[in-house]
């Protein structure tokens, strides 16, 4: 004779939820009482913040076996060098709408997070779901209207970037005008023009160290707090799967400035490796998969290496801007910033500005770094002119390779 079947004992979480929802022990507590909504993994932190902002009556934490554990709060990033402590991902949030109890929590699977909402009243479940998702995409978001770098190896799929100050970036008047007209103004006034200009692309080309990255950062600074900025390094848009993840992120909050650094490193001709990624990028920039409200700025050292369908067709990159040697005004401004930052004599700046004709902004920045290192080595005050004389005649490509 077989022994009578005994169901497994209830977990701490099951006992609590049955008590909360007043569900008999012999009834399935989840039958007709639970909704689940998948959200991308890059929304996990924002979802945790949204649940914490919900104003729950009680929060309990459970381990992977649904055993109750002491309340845990862990830090999450909400900005560059900014964190807040929020209940761990295994926390359950109990509250009431009127006299009706409800419970919310998060489940995490590879590639996505899942918002779980259980309540006997379907209307309340729908209302709570909308409240949490709206908060996740709005006031509780950990990344919207900020500058982030796309990185799928990170837990959230991104990292926050240090804010950029436009006053510290020196562009020629022509470059600034073109960037303002094609990117800054459309991003800041997107609601007014979205039906006529829903996206736009700018390609910055020129030799290494010429200031292309500075120009892209100037745009970031100009739209700071008004549009989301997403920066992608070459490794992040070198494959179709990564491009799909990248555009899923940028499409989640528009208007958005998408920065593609060193485009020619991984996206080249359709006859080279990476042709599938090229096709996906073309489709995203100006094709059936175009995302409204995504404005793109890309940099390249070798525009001639890019496929003509990418670099020459309007609608993908509408404007190409040549970034060459730094202008006298830009050199003077950067040298002044460096001199004040490291404590070098300002009286040298006029001569240095003239002497550095043909230098890139990267060369001048390196001059400042070397002057500081030389001063530390000599235990004296920094002297930009001394460092310049030590480097006189040294090819720019060799600067910083031990000449001090």
270 in Cβ contact with 307 (< 8 Å): yes
372 in Cβ contact with 343 (< 8 Å): no
Residue 2 exposed, middle or buried by CB count within 10 Å (0-12, 13-18, 19+): exposed
Q: How confident is the model at residue 393 (pLDDT cuts 50, 70, 90)?
A: low
Q: Residues 6 or more apart from 110 whose CB is under 8 A from it?
A: none
Tell me which of 196-205, 284-293, 338-347 is least confident: 284-293
205 pLDDT above the threshold of 70 = yes
Q: What per-residue confidence (pLDDT) applies to 286?
A: 78
Q: pLDDT tens-digit profile of 63-89? A: 889 999 998 899 999 999 999 999 987
Q: How confident is the model at residue 6 (pLDDT cuts 50, 70, 90)?
A: low
What are the two backbone dihedrals, phi and then psi, of residue 202, each rounded to the nearest 5 degrees? -125, 130
Gap between the Cα atoms of 101 and 119, Å rounded? 6
Q: How confident is the model at residue 402 (pLDDT cuts 50, 70, 90)?
A: very low
202 in Cβ contact with 317 (< 8 Å): yes
Element (H, E) at 212: helix 212-222
In the block, residue with structure tokens 């509780």? 140
71 in Cβ contact with 85 (< 8 Å): no
Give 398's DSSP letter: G
Q: pLDDT tens-digit profile of 313-329? A: 776 888 999 988 777 88
288 pLDDT above the threshold of 80 = no
Q: pLDDT tens-digit profile of 79-124? A: 999 999 999 878 999 999 999 999 999 999 887 899 999 998 999 9
pTM (global) more than 0.95: no
Mean predicted confidence (pLDDT) in 45-66:
94
Q: What percent of the chain has pLDDT over 90?
A: 53
Q: How confident is the model at residue 401 (pLDDT cuts 50, 70, 90)?
A: very low
Gap between the Cα atoms of 264 and 321, Å rounded? 16
- Three-state secondary structure string covering 57-103: CEEEEECCCCCEECCCEEEEEEECCEEEEEECCCEEEEEEECCEEEE
The arrangement of strands across the sheet holding 200-205 comes to: 158-160, 147-150, 228-232, 256-260, 294-300, 200-205, 319-322
Mean pLDDT across the chain: 87
360 pLDDT above the threshold of 60 = yes
Count of other CB atoms within 10 angstroms of residue 300 = 25
Gap between the Cα atoms of 205 and 307, Å rounded? 14
């Amino acid at each position: 004779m077989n022994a009578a079947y005994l169901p497994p004992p209830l977990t701490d979480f099951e006992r609590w939820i049955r008590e909360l929802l007043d569900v008999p022990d012999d009834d399935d507590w989840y039958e007709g009482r639970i909704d689940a909504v998948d959200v991308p993994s890059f929304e996990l932190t924002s979802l945790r913040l949204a649940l914490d902002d919900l104003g729950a009556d009680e929060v309990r934490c459970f381990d992977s076996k649904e055993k109750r554990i002491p309340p845990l709060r862990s830090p999450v990033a909400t900005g560059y060098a900014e964190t807040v402590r929020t209940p761990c991902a295994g926390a359950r949030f109990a509250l009431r709408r009127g006299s009706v109890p409800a419970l919310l929590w998060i489940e995490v699977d590879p590639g996505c997070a899942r918002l779980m909402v259980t309540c006997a009243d379907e209307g309340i479940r729908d209302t709570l779901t909308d409240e949490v998702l709206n908060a996740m995409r709005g006031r509780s978001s950990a990344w919207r209207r900020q500058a982030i770098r796309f990185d799928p190896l990170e837990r959230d799929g991104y990292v926050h970037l240090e804010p950029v100050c436009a006053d510290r970036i020196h562009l020629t008047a022509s470059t600034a005008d073109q960037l303002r007209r094609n990117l800054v103004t459309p991003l800041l006034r997107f609601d007014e023009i979205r039906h006529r200009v829903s996206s736009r692309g700018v390609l910055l080309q020129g030799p290494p160290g010429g200031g292309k990255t500075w120009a892209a950062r100037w745009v970031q600074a100009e739209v700071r707090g008004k549009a989301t900025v997403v920066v992608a390094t070459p490794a992040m848009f070198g494959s179709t799967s990564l491009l799909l993840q990248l555009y899923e992120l940028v499409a989640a909050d528009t208007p958005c400035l998408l920065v593609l650094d060193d485009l020619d490193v991984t996206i080249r001709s359709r006859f080279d490796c990476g042709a599938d990624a090229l096709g996906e990028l073309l489709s995203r920039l100006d094709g059936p998969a175009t995302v409204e409200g995504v404005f793109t700025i890309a940099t390249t050292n070798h525009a001639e290496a890019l496929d003509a369908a990418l670099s020459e067709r309007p609608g993908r990159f509408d404007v190409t801007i040549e970034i060459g040697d730094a202008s006298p005004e830009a050199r003077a401004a950067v040298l002044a910033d460096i001199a004040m930052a490291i404590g070098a004599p300002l009286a040298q700046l006029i001569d240095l500005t003239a002497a550095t004709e043909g230098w890139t902004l990267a060369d001048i920045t390196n001059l400042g770094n070397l002057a500081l290192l030389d001063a530390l080595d000599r235990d004296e005050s920094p002297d930009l002119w001394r460092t310049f004389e030590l480097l006189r005649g040294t090819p720019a490509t060799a600067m910083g390779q031990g000449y001090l």
